[in-house]
Chain A
């Protein structure tokens, strides 16, 4: 570019800079955001990708909304699905949400990331969010890295704290170290650990809703079916009390002891990897580094030794109880109350004590 054109372009750039700043939501303002870093803070805008089953909003979305609110800017939620009306109604009332973007189309059946990613990219193009986030559930973990790669940015997984709009804390090495990361990307893409942020209130909000054009189907993947574990007990990741069993239970039948105890406590039932691998219980009950992360008020570990990988999923519980016959089991090092006893005797006793 010659000097002359540069001079000619300068006022032009300046005018558009002002326009860019006053109507920051217009597309192609990324460059201005980078130019005016001082203004960055004021013009934060976050997109939370809502997780739902076309009927109900998944609770972790509420935790993600709280995290998004901490960034200080405007929070929008994207609801994509085959039938969005109910979820849009719920999310419009959630405190902190300003705008609900709705994309309803049959291609969003099963929330396939191949279909949702183009939609999020189109939405991003239109609204130029500074942050895009979702809960760090199987849904969020599957989707957000795909979105990030398409935006050519490095995402940040499973954050437990927001220090500033570009600085996050997350755990590494199975929760044995905390890493503080500064993200210098133009768009921050991250997933939120549900248990580290309170759920946003489902009342008192008054968001507007707006339809966004569904993306054209890519057709490279197809959702066939799902088999969900049915249970009347509270959902594991949000339960106030969790009773978990490990290898010490010896069989799937013996897990009934834990179900009985859980019923008395209105608790969810979890498991260690050993119990899942041995086929005692289905995999979606696994608590740990590679299973679910829980942080209930009370966690009762029964017949679980307390391997690093299991502790990663439960050591932020408020109170931890361990029932194990091995006094050397590492679980006792993190337990607030430890009972060295045979679980086959202790658990029924406890169930009975709670019936009184």
Chain B
């Protein structure tokens, strides 16, 4: 295989931030909150760049759907080694309602347009925790899927994927073109160095609209409200193991 890889990257609230639910229960506070690239997307970018470094593919295209700021996330992918970017601009109400179904339609349309051989995505975004986009993109394209990948090897026109499953690991072999979603153990993403960040500024990001791709972004999912989860009651500190075992016995837990 020596084709083109499409990598989907999402801008999300940074994984270390303690999120706050809006007082009107319409969502989570995002204004003025630190955002970064979704950790699983970083792993996807790293894998694509590695494949290019091994000369197994010729071009890595980073795609992000979202408002203006999504360009920063694409820039990060470019600094990590992606060749060019595509920003699918979705903002305002459309962005609030943008879900995996719409994103997968956009990615599927881009994959066809760009004649991609492989799409690598993260297995889930840490904000909506959906774990759907890769599977849905594969479905729309009728391509096979290698989800939750912890090892990817290209073997001719096939991809061997080691997958993380509930009981351990499994190996599948899928035809290309294919969609692969990255699990945490796939690789360790590199840090973008300053020279590479500078170089990334010269790389091209093309701006498109979902309509240009013939994708309708209306959603039939409606978020009625967002709440804080129930708070746990404060616990007690025990002094000794004996005390701990005693308390657990009392509570009927052991």
What is A's interface to B at a CB cutoff of 8 Å? 110, 112-114, 117, 137-139, 141-150, 152-158, 167, 170-185, 220-229, 237, 241, 265, 273, 276-277, 282-284, 289-290, 292, 297-298, 308-309, 315, 318-321, 332-341, 346, 349-350, 353-354
Contacts and interface: CB of A to CB of B under 8 A. Distances in A.
A117 B244 contact: no
Given A155-B132, A221-B172, A221-B175, A148 B101 contact: yes
A181 B135 contact: no
A172 B184 CA distance: 19
Contacts of A276: 185
A194 to B, nearest CB: 11
Interface in B10-30: 13, 15-16, 18-19, 21, 28
B129 A149 contact: no
Given A173-B13, A179-B223, A225 B248 contact: no
B214 interface: no
A173 B139 CA distance: 26
A11 B173 CA distance: 54
B108 to A, nearest CB: 9
B139 to A, nearest CB: 4
Contact of A157 (B132, B222, B241): B132
Interface string B141-179: 011110110100000000010011111111111110000
Interface residues of B, number: 82
Nearest to B175: A220
8 contacts: A114-B174, A150-B139, A178-B226, A179-B223, A220-B142, A227-B168, A229-B167, A283-B150
Given A154-B99, A172-B128, A337-B236, A149 B244 contact: no
Interface stretch (B53-61, B119-127, B194-202): B119-127
Given A153-B101, A298-B248, A309-B15, A338 B236 contact: yes
B225 interface: yes
Contacts, number: 255
Contacts of A273: 184
A221 B175 CA distance: 6
Given A113-B145, A146-B138, 11 more contacts: A138-B163, A139-B165, A147-B139, A148-B139, A157-B129, A178-B227, A227-B170, A284-B169, A289-B129, A337-B235, A349-B241
Interface string B193-223: 0000000000000000000000000011111
A354 B245 contact: yes
Contact of A224 (B16, B130, B171, B233): B171
A293 B234 CA distance: 22
B222 A181 contact: yes
Interface of B: 13, 15-16, 18-19, 21, 28, 40, 99-101, 104, 123-124, 126-140, 142-145, 147-148, 150, 160, 163-175, 183-185, 219-229, 232-242, 244-245, 247-248, 251, 253-254
Contacts of B219: 154
Contact of A220 (B28, B143, B237): B143
Given A137-B166, A284-B167, A173 B138 contact: no
B237 A148 contact: no
A176 B167 CA distance: 27
A321 B244 contact: yes
Contacts of B229: 171, 175-178, 315
A285 to B, nearest CB: 10
B173 A221 contact: yes
A353 B245 CA distance: 7
Given A146-B135, A226-B171, A337 B238 contact: yes
A340 B139 contact: no
Given A220-B143, A265-B254, A290-B124, A145 B135 contact: yes
A346 B241 contact: yes
Contacts of B241: 339, 341, 346, 349-350, 353
A171 B129 contact: yes
A110 B140 CA distance: 22
Contacts of A172: 28, 127-129, 226
Nearest to A163: B224
Contacts of B28: 172-173, 177
Contacts of B132: 145, 148, 155, 157
A68 B127 CA distance: 26
Contact of B127 (A148, A158, A173): A173
A338 B235 contact: yes
Contacts of B238: 337-339
